[in-house]
Amino acid sequence: MEYGFWNKLRRPFFVLAPMADVTDAAFRRIIAKRGRPDVFWTEFVSADGLCSPGRKVLLKDLKFTRKERPIVAQLFSSHPDKMREAARLVAKLGFDGIDINMGCPDKSIEKQGAGAAMIKNPESARAIIRATKEGIVLARKKIPVSVKTRIGYNENQIETWIPQILEEGVAALTIHCRTRKEMSLVPARWEHVREVAALRDRIAPQTLVIGNGDVKDLADARAKAVEFGADGVMLGRAIFGNPWLFSELHTKDGKPYVPTLEERLDTLVKHTRLYEKLLGDVKSFAVMKKHFKAYVSNFVDANHLRLQLMECHDSKGMKREIKAFLKARKASDTI
């Protein structure tokens, strides 16, 4: 089994979750400059799409910079031949690892037999893992393969589902502590990470176990890693509006960096500009707006400014609104 960078990480380590239309190339660059995680993940990308004429558009989701290393490309598919070809392509692009999504509950993904649907078809899941490894070999590369999944489909299937993955020899296994049926509607049950770790110890001792679900910040992540025996922790929603989430990994005092309001709003503008530059020709500006509420919150008149920004159609308009807001705020403070 190839472990690559995984064996070089400190324990516990902290990684950025793959989130569709969130952890895109633009946001990852913003995060990398403000406190990078131990490992970056891309958004999940269709392996089938990478083997189609639409490849050119999808390749934009796989753009990355040196400052984002180590970075893992996440793929999904239920077709071994497509996954093999896509893994070959991704390996040649220079990624540090490939992760297979076996937990996404999106119905359009499941209809393809991918994502969480894999839990119902272990034989297909195993074939996909093997095909991914074969594609990497065809690319003449040596990078590790990992999997992200859930504890089961309609119920806890850890004892039957997780061994199927571990027996295929993956470098890391991220376990989202809910079933597919539960989506994110119930609290994540981290005691299941301990169950997975126990299975790992028996079946594949070298595989790293990463816990995922409802992690508030790095302090919470550290506590969960210790209590439940995770080698690493994946953080997702906590990154919204807070590209400084991982900053304490790089500060001398080990404390998170707290930006000023001006820094937060300036970062929002820079984030939006990058989005326009890197993805504006293939993605709607409306996708970027999901970040507005996260950045623009918890200060006086935040709702008013957010409503103004939601009417904007580009970063230039946003910059004008923010400049006017800060000017008015400063004037009111001097009265």
Known catalytic residue at 104: yes
C-alpha distance from residue 288 to each of 109, 268, 275, 312 (Å): 22, 10, 7, 11
Q: Cα(143)–Cα(77) distance, rounded to whole angstroms?
A: 19
3-state secondary structure the chain: CCCHHHHHCCCCEEEECCCCCCCCHHHHHHHHHHHCCCEEEEEEEEHHHHCCCCHHHHHHHHCCCHHHCCEEEEEECCCHHHHHHHHHHHHHCCCCEEEEEECCCCHHHHCCCCHHHHHHCHHHHHHHHHHHHHHHHHCCCCCCEEEEEEEECCCCCHHHHHHHHHCCCCCEEEEEEEECCCCCCCCCCCHHHHHHHHHHHHHCCCCEEEEECCCCCHHHHHHHHHHHCCCEEEECHHHCCCCCCCHHHCCCCCCCCCCCHHHHHHHHHHHHHHHHHHHCCCCCHHHHHHHHHHHCCCCCCHHHHHHHHHCCCCHHHHHHHHHHHHHHHHHHHHC
As a whole number of Å, the end-to-end CA separation of the chain is 67
Tokens representing 241? 């509006």
Which of 51, 104, 177, 312 is flagged as catalytic? 104
Q: Cα(100)–Cα(132) distance, rounded to whole angstroms?
A: 8
Active site residues: 104
